[in-house]
Every structure is written in structure tokens, then in C-alpha cells.
Amino acid sequence: MQHQTEVTNGASVPQLNGSSDGGSAVTVNGVKDETKKALKLDPINRDMVRLIGQHLANLGFQSTVEQLMAESGCRLDHPEARRFKSSVVEGDWQAAEAALLELQSMLNNTTHLTEMRFLILEQKYMELLERGDDIGALNCLRGEISPLDHNISRVHRLSSLIFYNNPAELKKATNWLGSGPESHMALMERLSAYLPPSVMLPPRRLERLVIQSVQHQVATCEFHNTSIEPLLKVDNLEGLSLSDVVVSSSCLLTDHHCGKEHFPSTCLYTVTEHMDEVLVAAFSPNGRYLATAGKDFSLLIWNVDNTTLKISKRHCLDGHNFSIVFLSWSHDSTKIIACMHEDASELIVWDAERGKQVCKVSDSTSDSLTCACWYKDNERFVCGGLRGQFYLCNLEGAVLERWEGVRVQSLAVHADGKTVLASDTHRRIRGYQLETVQDYSILQEDHGIMTFSLDTTGRFALLNVTTQGLHLWDLNSRTLVRRFRGATQKHCTIHSCFGGINQDFIASGSEDHKVYIWHRNQELPVAVLSGHQLPVNCVTWNPVQPSMLVSVSDDRTIRIWGPSQTNRLNRDADAASTSGGLSDGDDDEPDSPRASNFQFPHSLISGLDISSH
Amino acid sequence: MGRVYIEHPGGSKIFSCGECCTPVTNRKSLISTRFTGATGRAFLFSSVVNLIYSSVQARMMLTGRHMVRDVSCKYCSAKLGWIYEFATDESQRYKEGCVILERALIVETDGIEEL
């Protein structure tokens, strides 16, 4: 035993430097013969050694790999498979076929053999065509491909390709890469899918496993709110290498675990400008303005500084005679609609930059227009209310279309820009196209839908369902994805929103005076923020500054939430000391004890280009 | 109290709270008109919205002993009637889960044509 360790630790180094093959290898083998039998590996470890060997071989450590294989008694690939692979890569189709026939016994399925042969012959045929060798191609088609009696429709398609005059047209018509190493590698990848892993290892398998594990760590990271660390939503790993996905090696050495550096966890400051209960708040889509409104009949527009997270008053818009209960920003952040209480019978559209009224919509005195949303063209909007009004209006306040027969409680515009999603008193959400007078059902709930909002992709809808919590629905498949528990909402209308980078978080107000934040994948909240003294009516998350959250409440205050002071100081200090480099995580914050820290300036917003270091 | 969440029962004839006109129920849910409350006539409805329920009390009524909860408007807290939770008599079981609203305390209006 000791003898063996001596050889590997001590003597193996000079051996590699000198001549690691020939003579000394014999000695090594001789010495190790007895010990080789001692290294009996169970199947799992054998596969582990093969994976490690494959990774080392990809990096270029050929002699190490040979020694590893000798020592462990495993082999990377079956020798026939290796021969097969090299002949495919070179384009030597005959040798490839021969090697394939040798491998025949090891395939799982006899149809696989035919499919592989078909693929090889298909490539051969295409290459002959490209070269202009029509006779050869025809012979191949007739004599080799057709007898296979496989995928006849494809054979017919192939035979039609003979009519193409030049290779360029041929390539365009079939999306084929042309003959050459790239195309051969692609073919090899497709063929390797048919070979069982004991015969030939899937390419770059160890890297794939590590990428999957890193993605899993990020997916379970509760406060993950940065675009910096590993890409999370990569489905197709085919073209990716490890260095594309994992930015810093600290992710491999310790489990990825975000602290709260980018997560809103403390109340940065409170603003008391409103004279009465504040009912709604909304950030503009460009993140530069914040609008708040409530029972004091005034709509306040604030400028938002995304670096210092401070807000300053821009406009105080009066002209409402009733409390404002709903706000809707246009998609270009220039205009905002203020909808009022049921008894108001009108709504006002404001120009947010200049602070002037654009128009009013007041069709009749018995109307109630309590919710609204904009079309993507920012010229027209839809509004509706509990008394059955459902109008499409333009910027002059004229009603263009009317839809009768539905009492609308909340509105949002569909991803296509022109269909409107409306929740109504029958506890449904339906889609409406007011111009073409079409509608369709999307989902039905068992309890009243108070409000709902869509995420930026337009695929998911977050519903505030009275007494039941928040429901996340997938609108494409019309299924309920998840319910979020914790918040109380029985009596009052509470608003919720998506937030964070990639909209991974969900926040909601609650009647128990707290702000609740959930991660999209978990039912229970990751953070519960206290501070308000009365029910929190609405929360809104800054779309361009993912660590800033605003909540408004019956206690007349607006609270701005962001990362705690120490977290931000750490983040900023580290950024000032090193620019882009990885400094070691000297964080004395109790809730982020790990060494993985992200040292980037806090003026960073999503869409950062990750520079190498 | 923030913006109180009000549902709407729909239907062609709507009964609402007499004080604040918050819609409570409609003709479709009407089961019987032959009831009497403190203020006179009362109707029995099968489904209601926008009401708050008090704690349960035992009451002796003309028809027997029942467990009831008082029912008030969610918006203005005006007392409107009661809900039968439990009936001791087998013959009175049909009332369980239904709400009595006193005719003098509610108003009837027209609804809109709904899809």
C-alpha cells in the first residue's frame, strides 16, 4: 500500500518530466500490477473516473489520462467507438460503417443501427452532391440508402435535392453546414446519442453535471437578485462551456448563497406627504418616476434616483374629486391614468413629465370607471368598472368602442398589445379584443379576484384572491402554478407585483401591516417587512433597480425599502477597492457568512456585461 | 380602511344595502318571501356577497330553536338580517346556510344584461 503511494506522490513526478512512456511505463506497470488489482472500483466510481478522464483529456492532459486509465482499469471509450468517432470526424465513411458494424452488438436497439447508418449515408450523399458527383450520389441513394428501408419520406426529400444546381442553394434549402469538420462534429454529436454511455461517453459530461449543479444552487438561492452569478434559465446546454455559465470559481468551491446585498430588506426612509390613506403606487416602466395616490384626492409624481434610491417630488396633480383607486402608466412612461372611486363617473389622463391633464373620460354621470390599462401603442386605453362600463378610449377622451355586459374589476394588457385581460365579478379572467368584438375565457377562480398583474413576458399572471392568498397562473396553459401564503387580504383590496431581476420575486401588501416577499419558486415568504402601522395597500417594485421596493399604506406613508446600510456599504466599499476583480469576501454581515461576494458597483443595473477577470 | 373590496352578485334584479347601496344578492338567489324579521317582512336567500358575520348565537324563533349569526353590510356595517347556521328541527334543515335579509333594510334595483 505504502509502496503505491510512493510511486504516485514521489516517483511519478520525475517520470512525467522525463519519459513517461516506454521504459519507465513498464516499470510503473510492473510495480502496479499487484496494486492494480487492489484498486477495485464499484461501477459508480468507475464512471466517475471515466468522467474525470474525459475532462482531463479535453484539457490536454494526455499522459495523465493514460496513466489514470491504466491505474484504474477503466477506459474512456470503447476502442471501436474511438475508431468510429475518428473516422466520422475525418469523413471516412467506409471506415465508419465498418466500425459501426463492429459496435453493432453493443447497441441497445437494432433500429438504432439502421438510424445511424442512415445518418452516415445521408451525410455521404449530401457531400457527393455538393462536390457535383451526381452519378456517385445517385448510386449511393439507390444502392445504399434505399435498401435500408428507413424513413421513406426523408429518402424522397433527399432524392429531390439532386435537382439543385449549386452547393450554395443546396445548403440553404436544407440548412446543412456543408462538408467539413464542423459538419462532421455535428453529425458525431447526433450519432453519439445512439451509443450507450458504456461504449462512448457523452461529450463534456462532467462539465454538464457541474453546470446543472450550479444552476440548482442558484435556483434554490433565496435572495438571488443579481444578474452576475450563474445563468439560471439556460435550457439548452449544448453549445455552452463551463466558463460561459460559471463566472467565478467561488461558486464551485462553496454553495452559492446570496446575502441580502441586492435584496430589499430594510426600510431606507419614510415619506409622509399624503394627507389621507394612500391606496395605490406604481413605478413607471422606465423606472424614473413613481406615482402615489389615495384618499386625499391628489396624485403625486416623484422623480426616482436609481443610484441613491431617493425620491423627490415632481408634481402634485389635483383635479380629482374622489379618492384615486387605480393607476396605470403608459408603456413609454409619459402618461398616467388615474381612476377614481365608483361614484366618480370619470377618469383623468395626465402627462407625467409636464404635469398637465391630457384628457378626461366622462361619458355619462352614472358611469363608474375604476380601472384602466393602455394599449401598447400608448394612444388608446381601455377602462371599465363595476357598473358594467367597458370602454376603449383615445387620448381626446372619446369613447371608441363599448363592450356591454361585464362588470370589470381589474385590467391588464396582454403581451400582444391589443388584447385586454379583465377580471370580472364572476371570478373569471377573460381576454377581450374590443375592436373586433372577440372574447375568450382564460381562467376561473372560486373566490373573488381583487387585482391581478402580469409579468414582463406576459405569460404569467399574479392574482390577489380574497382570503386565499396570491395565485400564480400560467396563461398559456391556463393552469395554476403556485399559491403564495402568508398575507392577509379579506376586507380590503390589496395590490401585489412581480419584481427583482428576471421577475423572480413576488411582493404583496397585507392587512396585518406588513410587506410580504416571496421567491417565485417557494410558497412561503422569504422576507416579511414590518414598519407600517396600518394595512399595506399596495407595493411596487422598481423595474430597473431590482433592489428597490416601495409600499404605501393606510397610515398615510410611503416607505422605500432597499438593501440594508451595512450591506450596501460592503458592496460599495468592495467595489471602490477593486474594479471588477474578485476580492475575497471579508463580510462581517451575520447573514452572509460565505466567501462568495459580488464586488460590483451599485450603479449596476440588469443587463451588465460580465467582464472576465 | 383602505379600499374595501366589493364583489357583485350579478343578475337582473339586485338587492343592495339600504344605507350605502352595496350590492348583496339578486332575485335568482331568492328562495322564499314568507319570513318575518324585527322590521317586518323578510326574504330568504341562498347566496350573498359583501356581508360580515357575527359570532354564532342560539335563538328561539317561531319555527323552533336555531343557531344564527347576525349579518351586516361589509361597507357600512348596517345590520341587514341573519344567517341560519344550524336548525334543531329536521323540517327546518332547508334553511341552513341561507341568509335572511329584512325587506325594509334593503333596496331592489335593476341589474345590467350580462354575458
Judging contacts by C-beta atoms under 8 Å, the chain A residues touching residue B3 are: 279, 323, 325, 492-493, 537
**What digits encode the pLDDT tens for the residues A451-476?**
999 998 889 999 999 999 999 999 99
Q: CA-based angle A212:A215:A217, to the nearest 5? A: 115
Q: Is the ipTM of this complex over 0.90?
A: no
For the residues B83-92, what does the mean pLDDT come to? 90
Asked if A77 and A198 count as a contact pair (C-beta separation under 8 A), the reply is no
pLDDT of residue A144: 80
Nearest of A342, A431, A327 to residue A389 by alpha carbon: A342
For the residues A540-563, what does the mean pLDDT come to? 92
**By CB neighbour count within 10 A (0-12 exposed, 13-18 middle, 19+ buried), where does A512 fall?**
middle
Helix (H, G, I), strand (E, B) or coil at A348: strand
Asked if A552 and A280 count as a contact pair (C-beta separation under 8 A), the reply is yes
Nearest of A522, A524, A572 to residue A547 by alpha carbon: A572
A581 pLDDT higher than 60: no
Give the whole-angstrom CA distance, residue A331 versus residue A164.
49
Domain ranges of chain B: 13-109
Distances (CA, A) of A395 to A292, A357, A362: 22, 11, 13
Asked if B77 and B47 count as a contact pair (C-beta separation under 8 A), the reply is no
CB contacts < 8 A (A, B): 56
Q: What does A412-459 look like in DSSP terms, one character per residue?
A: EE-TTSS-EEEEETTSEEEEEETTTTEEEEEEE-SS-EEEEEE-TTSS
- Which of A12-16, A218-222, A574-578 is least confident? A12-16
The answer to whether the CB atoms of B7 and A406 lie below 8 A apart is: no
Of B2, B49, B114, the CB nearest to A406: B114
Judging contacts by C-beta atoms under 8 Å, the chain A residues touching residue B113 are: 404-405
For the residues B22-27, what does the mean pLDDT come to? 94
- Choose the mutation target among A425, A430, A450, A556 for the interface with B, i.e. most B CBs under 10 Å: A425
The answer to whether the CB atoms of A491 and B1 lie below 8 A apart is: yes
Judging contacts by C-beta atoms under 8 Å, the chain B residues touching residue A388 are: 112, 114
Q: Give the mean pLDDT of chain A.
A: 80
Of A323, A406, A492, the CB nearest to B5: A492
Task: List the beta bridge partners of residue A39.
Answer: none
Of A386, A492, A537, the CB nearest to B8: A386
Q: Does A407 touch chain B (CB under 8 A)?
A: yes
Give the whole-angstrom CA distance, residue A321 versus residue A297.
6
Q: Does B62 touch chain A (CB under 8 A)?
A: no
* Domain B13-109 top-level CATH class: mainly beta
Q: Does B89 touch chain A (CB under 8 A)?
A: no
Judging contacts by C-beta atoms under 8 Å, the chain B residues touching residue A556 are: none
**What digits encode the pLDDT tens for the residues A590-602?**
333 333 333 333 3
pLDDT of residue A229: 53
Extended beta strands in A182-307, E state:
266-271, 278-283, 289-294, 299-305
pLDDT of residue A535: 94
Task: List the beta bridge partners of residue A303.
Answer: A289, A312
**What digits encode the pLDDT tens for the residues A464-521?**
999 999 999 999 999 999 999 999 888 999 999 999 888 889 999 999 999 999 998 8
The answer to whether the CB atoms of A405 and B115 lie below 8 A apart is: yes
Q: Does B14 touch chain A (CB under 8 A)?
A: no
Q: Does A450 touch chain B (CB under 8 A)?
A: yes
The answer to whether the CB atoms of A493 and B74 lie below 8 A apart is: no
The pTM score is: 0.74
Of B3, B6, B49, the CB nearest to A279: B3
Nearest of A342, A51, A66, A491 to residue B4 by alpha carbon: A491
Higher-pLDDT residue of A29, B101: B101
Q: What does B8-48 look like in DSSP terms, one character per residue?
A: ---SSEEEEETTT--EEEEGGGEEEEEEEETTEEEEEES--
Judging contacts by C-beta atoms under 8 Å, the chain A residues touching residue B2 are: 277, 279, 491-494, 511, 535, 537, 554
Task: List the beta bridge partners of residue A519.
Answer: A505
Q: Helices H, strands E: what count in chain B?
A: 0, 10
Q: Does B112 touch chain A (CB under 8 A)?
A: yes
The answer to whether the CB atoms of B114 and A388 lie below 8 A apart is: yes
A382 pLDDT higher than 70: yes
Question: Secondary structure of A24-59 in the HEC alphabet?
Answer: HHHHHHHHHHHHHHHCCCCHHHHHHHHHHHHHHHHH
Q: Does A325 touch chain B (CB under 8 A)?
A: yes
Judging contacts by C-beta atoms under 8 Å, the chain B residues touching residue A492 are: 1-5
A27 pLDDT higher than 90: no
Of B2, B74, B114, the CB nearest to A554: B2
Q: What percent of chain A has pLDDT over 70?
A: 82
For the residues B76-102, what does the mean pLDDT come to? 92
pLDDT band at A34 (very low <50, low <70, confident <90, very high): very low
A413 pLDDT higher than 70: yes
pLDDT of residue A228: 56
For the residues B85-111, what does the mean pLDDT come to? 92
A273 pLDDT higher than 80: yes
**By CB neighbour count within 10 A (0-12 exposed, 13-18 middle, 19+ buried), where does A443 fall?**
buried
Q: Does B114 touch chain A (CB under 8 A)?
A: yes
Nearest of A307, A232, A577 to residue A599 by alpha carbon: A577
**What digits encode the pLDDT tens for the residues A93-128?**
888 888 888 777 777 777 788 888 888 888 888 888
pLDDT of residue A249: 62
The answer to whether the CB atoms of B5 and A448 lie below 8 A apart is: yes
Asked if A492 and A189 count as a contact pair (C-beta separation under 8 A), the reply is no
Judging contacts by C-beta atoms under 8 Å, the chain A residues touching residue B6 are: 386
Q: Give the number of other Cβ atoms within 10 Å of residue B89's Cβ.
A: 11
The answer to whether the CB atoms of A386 and B6 lie below 8 A apart is: yes
Q: Which residue of B has its CA nearest to A296?
A: B2
B87 pLDDT higher than 80: yes
pLDDT band at A585 (very low <50, low <70, confident <90, very high): very low
CA–CA min distance A426, chain B (Å): 8
Q: Does A208 touch chain B (CB under 8 A)?
A: no
Nearest of A477, A418, A421 to residue A454 by alpha carbon: A421
Handedness of CA A568, A570, A576, A581 (dihedral sign): negative
**What digits encode the pLDDT tens for the residues A161-195?**
777 777 777 777 777 777 777 788 778 877 877 88
For the residues A194-219, what does the mean pLDDT come to? 82
pLDDT of residue A584: 36
